[in-house]
Amino acid sequence: MAEELIAFASKQEMLAKSKQFWNPDKTQFWIDSGVPLVIDRREGYYIYDVEGKRLIDVHLNGGTYNLGHRNPEVVAAVTAAMQRFDIGNHHFPSLARTALAEALVKTAPGAPERAPQGGFGGMGLPDPGGSPGGSSPRGLTKVMYGSGGGEAVDIALKSARHATKKRRIVSVAKAYHGHTGLAVAAGDERFATLFLADRPEEFSHVPFNDLAAMEAALRGRDVAAVIMETIPATYGFPLPAPGYLAGVKKLCERFGALYIADEVQTGLMRTGELWAISKHGVTPDILVSGKGISGGMYPVSVVLATESAAGWLTEDGFAHMSTFGGAELGCVAALKTLEITCRPEVRSMVHYIADVFTTGLSRIQAQYPDWFTGIRQDGLVMGLEFGHPQGAKFVMKRLYENGVWAIFSTLDPGVLQYKPGILLTPSLCEELLERTEVAIGKARDDVARGVRR
């Protein structure tokens, strides 16, 4: 039994061993932050600490648990698949990998084919609906696989360099694309410099929402790709200004760079559309998804690309390899996740729940206008702004005490990431809002009393 393999006498012993054998700094950070969480059981949108404390999960590990923890339909699909498949052999054509690739292409932004009535192929996927389309007439027609978001971003950047024969990459200051080789260089310097992984001559960072800075970075025509989170998550979900992303895409077209949409956190219906970039009228040249596509059950990440951006696949199909990339059990989890996510009733519920939060959070904000200073929201992607540079850490602690797990934004701790699941029930929304209201009030008192964080 798994329990016997992982048993500890007490939480204190477990935390001590975590510091000794796993990650001393991170373990101590959570203890010092007042969030000594060791997650044990998990079910739906609830997680339970090893000492039994129940928390509503509004972090969802960046959307990994969009469908809840251990979603019964995903568990059933993976369990059934395990009777027949395992990770598979990455060198060979595979039933699961091909089926997922076809489903992703048919649901991609700007997909040329619309699903026939009654669903896609044999998978019963309904038509995800309205993608406004874009400049690439044939859309995203090829799929490449990784096992995590960072690997997928690396694949995207490598593909762009191959397609354009250019080396430079432009991203946004305070961006976060993962910690693998190229992805970490594209993100905020905090994580790149520690490992001497920054490459300033190849990777440029421009301020978010600044088209003039983007134009200046691209004007030399030596840029392979601009990579953009559709809403920068780790920076606290600042919303793109109207027309900004479409403007970036136009600049890319003008100066011969590809547009890579990192939808690791914003995709999969979190904004009320399957892919958030569709809402901006942009069909990217490359789109990256991870986290939630796994159904929270088996790691997998995907890169969708146009024929020309994925040109290396016809030139040398062995050029990128990954033993676990596109693992077959992960592909089955992803197929089921995509099918659930594309159900019309799920989309309607996301719109409904988003409205519940707009109303509820505005009501709370009206009570504390000097403390709870702003709400950034696109569907169920939300950043709550507080009037103290570390404000979200105070709120996180009080939420934890009050049965809710939500995390501060690493690159802007004044903003709380607030990411409810897409299958949340109306009653759980109400409970969450009530708990949030209490925690925000208590955190304000902490700040007023000068409590240190």
List the interface residues with ligand PLP, window 214-243 (CB under 6 A).
229, 233-234
Q: Using the rule CB under 6 A, give the single segment among 43-51, 102-110, 146-154, 351-359 that binds ligand PLP.
A: 146-154
| CA atoms of 338 and 275, how far apart (whole Å) | 12
Select the residue interacting with ligand PLP from 262, 285, 378, 437 (CB under 6 A): 262
Residue 153 interacting with ligand PLP (CB under 6 A): yes
For residue 403, which amino acid is it?
G
Pick between residue 149 and residue 295 the one whose CB is nearest to ligand PLP: 149
Are 437 and 361 in contact by the 8 Å Cβ rule? The answer is no
CB 133 within 8 A of CB 114: no
Task: Specify burial of residue 275 (Cβ count, 10 A radius: 0-12, 13-18, 19+).
Answer: buried
Q: Considering the rule CB under 6 A, would residue 172 count as an interface residue with ligand PLP?
A: no
- Contact call for residues 108 and 273 (beta carbons, < 8 A): no
CB of 160 to ligand PLP, least distance (A): 16
Q: Applying CB under 6 A, does 290 fall inside the site for ligand PLP?
A: yes
Considering the complex, state which of residue 176 and residue 371 has its C-beta at the smaller distance from ligand PLP. Answer: 176
Q: How far is the CB of 302 from ligand PLP (least distance, A)?
A: 12
CA dist., res. 147 & res. 139, Å (int): 24
Q: Which residue shows structure tokens 């992982």?
A: 6
Nearest-angstrom CA–CA distance, 226 and 259: 5
Interface size with ligand PLP, residues (CB under 6 A): 15
Cα separation, 145 vs 283, whole angstroms: 20
> Closest residue (Cβ) to ligand PLP?
149
- Please tell me whether residue 148 binds ligand PLP under the rule CB under 6 A: yes
In the sheet with 54-57, reading across from the earlier edge strand, the strands are: 39-43, 46-49, 54-57, 404-405
Q: Cβ neighbours of residue 280 under 8 Å, at least 6 residues apart?
A: 230, 240, 245, 246
Three-class SS of residue 227?
A: strand
Residues between 177 and 196 that touch ligand PLP (CB under 6 A): 177-178
Which of the ranges 87-95, 104-112, 174-182, 197-205 carries the binding residues for ligand PLP, by CB under 6 A?
Answer: 174-182
DSSP 8-state assignment for residue 69: B
User: φ and ψ at 275, to 5 degrees?
Assistant: -120, 125
For ligand PLP, give the closer residue by CB, 126 or 330: 330
Residue 149 sits in the site that holds ligand PLP (CB under 6 A): yes
Closer by beta carbon to ligand PLP, 136 or else 417: 417
Nearer to ligand PLP, 125 or 380 (CB): 380
Residues 33-72 that bind ligand PLP (CB under 6 A): 62
Least CB distance from residue 389 to ligand PLP, whole Å? Answer: 22
Mark out the alpha helices in 198-320 (DSSP H runs).
211-218, 244-255, 312-315
* The only residue of 68, 128, 134, 150 in contact with ligand PLP, by rule CB under 6 A: 150
Judged by CB under 6 A, which stretch of 122-130, 193-201, 244-252, 258-266 contacts ligand PLP?
258-266
Contact set with ligand PLP (CB under 6 A) = 62, 148-150, 153, 176-178, 229, 233-234, 262, 264-265, 290
